[in-house]
Amino acid sequence: MLRFLKSLTFWTASEPKKKPIGFDRNMPSTPSIPTTSAPQPRPSVDLSAIRQPIVETQKKQRAAMIHQLTLHEGMRQFPYKCTSGKLTIGIGRNLDDRGITEAEAAYLLGNDIDDFQDRLTREIPWMVELDAVRQRVLLDMAFNLGVPGLLKFKRTLAAIRGKEYDRAAAMMLDSRWATQVGQRAKRLSHMMATGHIPPELI
């Protein structure tokens, strides 16, 4: 009996332990977790390819609208009365009710300065030999009087060309134009005589 028990203990100790039947099949497996997770790059999208058709469509629609309004309103370079009796210019711009913006006024002024400068350069080419201050005087007078009106100041222009600036300034003040514009003529004649810009214009 003792011998039997010893043999049974031997076989039990030496037999390898087995997992319960179905262990691998029934027990949930633990997923492996990576130690580091780098952010995945997002697919790049060419936004310009999306915007371009929209921009082109908007340009075409705007061009079509301009053509449509020009056809219906007409285009006038000089003010006129529309069917409602409003002073109008351009393509239906209502000057009585809307007028123009400061930006539009600045744009028109820039165009006028360029135009008057070109015309004066053609009519009195020696103007380019004057310093910048005295050129400004002539341009200012032309803007106020018109180029034909300025050209009527024949003796004054002759004095300016001869660099007799004090004499030219005196003749500017001794004119009907000076009585009409007042302070403007005094300021411009001072600029002509001295070649300096007064503080209020700096």
Q: How confident is the model over 50-78, as pLDDT tens digits?
A: 677 778 889 999 999 999 999 999 999 99
pLDDT (tens digit per residue) in 116-157: 999 999 999 999 999 999 999 999 999 999 999 999 999 999
Angle between helices 154-161 and 165-173 (to 10 degrees): 160
Instruction: Tell me: do 128 and 162 sit in the same domain.
Output: yes
Residue count (the chain): 202
Domain presence at residue 6: no
Domain-located, residue 184: yes
Specify the CATH number for the domain of residue 157: 1.10.530.40
The pair of structure tokens assigned to 142 is 């032309």
Under 8 Å between Cβ of 140 and 198: no
Longest dimension (CA), the chain: 155
The rounded distance, in Å, linking the Cα atoms of 61 and 119 is 39
Name the average pLDDT for the chain. Answer: 85
pLDDT for residue 114: 97
Query: Which amino acid is located at 92 in the chain?
Result: G
pTM value is 0.69
Q: What pLDDT is attached to residue 45?
A: 62
Looking at the fold, whether 109 and 89 belong to one and the same domain comes out as: no
pLDDT of 178 reads 98
Mean pLDDT of 157-186: 98
In percent, the amount of the chain with pLDDT more than 90 equals 71
Helices (H), the chain: 2-14, 23-26, 47-73, 102-123, 132-145, 147-151, 154-161, 165-173, 176-181, 183-194
How far apart (Å, rounded) are the C-alpha atoms in residues 59 and 14? 90
- 107 inside domain: yes
For residues 68-92, average pLDDT: 95
Domain extent for 160: 102-201
> What pLDDT does residue 32 have?
52
> Both 127 and 176 in a single domain?
yes
Same domain, 143 and 187: yes
Return the pLDDT at 20. Answer: 46
- Where is average pLDDT lowest: 37-41, 104-108, 165-169, 191-195? 37-41
Amino acid at 173: L
111 and 82 within one domain? no
State how many domains the chain has.
Answer: 2
10 occurs within a structural domain: no
Round to whole Å and give the CA distance between 182 and 86: 33
Give the position of tokens 């079509």. Answer: 64
Same domain, 133 and 186: yes
DSSP state of 17: P
Sign of CA dihedral 80, 83, 88, 89: negative
Question: Domain check: are 66 and 109 in the same one?
Answer: no
Supply the angle between the helices 183-194 and 132-145 in degrees, to the nearest 10: 150
Of 187, 185, 180, which Cα lies nearest the Cα of 201? Answer: 187
**Quick check: is 183 in a domain?**
yes
